[in-house]
Structure 1
């Protein structure tokens, strides 16, 4: 069982795009075996990126994996010359997986550690009701 299914790809990208990418015999039907092969490759890529750092329970994988697997599979279905959007999604997916591997992000969508943003030394202070400028009236 893969992190995402053919139906997941259909919901995200539509039948028209999948027909363009995965109707190899040109019969007007998405070739599920082609899509499933790319979904399996996407899973392998995800597992490879996270090897040794994250344990994934196959019975209940994090929901983010479905989206990430869809993005990778879509990119791979395009072959040698993917359009900008699938290429960018793929690159963003790899960056995210590498952040997970580095402990900077979690697969469940939360940050790995609380992030504290210190106040800027150049922040402007505003006092309600006071004006620095007037409209010359």
Structure 2
């Protein structure tokens, strides 16, 4: 599940702009692969920052995240240089994501979507099965 959709891009930018930047074969419709690549890049960018504080991918997409994903995807759709207002939206999205990663901004997540456990010193811990290769299991092999 992507954090944003073609419909979200059209709602934010308008049909004309999306056709200008995503209709590379000039058939009158946005190219699905071009849009999908931009949305995937946006998802990867969001996840890269948000993963510091939350389990990703987010199962419920807050409106803030959708807005940031749209801004990032829109920025990358403008392959010949985005206009200033698109660059400003992208910069705001990246700055906001940095704030999430730094713990300055909290996402409105559902109760079942909790951040990963953190220790008292701020390190993230992960629970899982015992490691396959450990010093005890390799004893005698080294």
- Does the TM-score normalized on the shorter chain lie above 0.5? yes
Separation in structure 2 between the aligned mates of residue 72 and residue 35 of structure 1, nearest angstrom: 12
CA shift, 1:83, in A, is: 0.8
Q: Distance in 2 between matches of 1:101 and 1:72?
A: 17
Using the alignment, how far apart are the partners of 1:97 and 1:26 within structure 2? 34
Superposition misfits of 4+ residues, deviation over 6 angstroms:
none
Relative to the length of structure 1, the TM-score reads: 0.73
Residue 9 of structure 1 deviates from its aligned partner by 0.7
Unaligned runs of 5+ in 2: 110-142
Comparing 14-23 and 42-51, the one that deviates more: 42-51
**TM-score in terms of structure 2 length:** 0.71
Match of 1:51 in 2: 51
CA distance in 1, matches of 2:54, 2:35: 26
Output aligned runs, 1:30-109, within 5 Å: 30-56=30-56, 58-108=58-108
Larger Rg: 1
Unpaired runs of 5+ residues, structure 1, are 110-137
Alpha-carbon offset, residue 4 of structure 1 = 0.6
C-alpha distance in structure 2 between counterparts of 1:34 and 1:28, whole Å: 14
Question: Residue deviations 1:11-43, cap 9 Å, x none?
Answer: 111110000000110111111221111001100
Q: Which moved more, 1:10-19 or 1:48-57?
A: 48-57
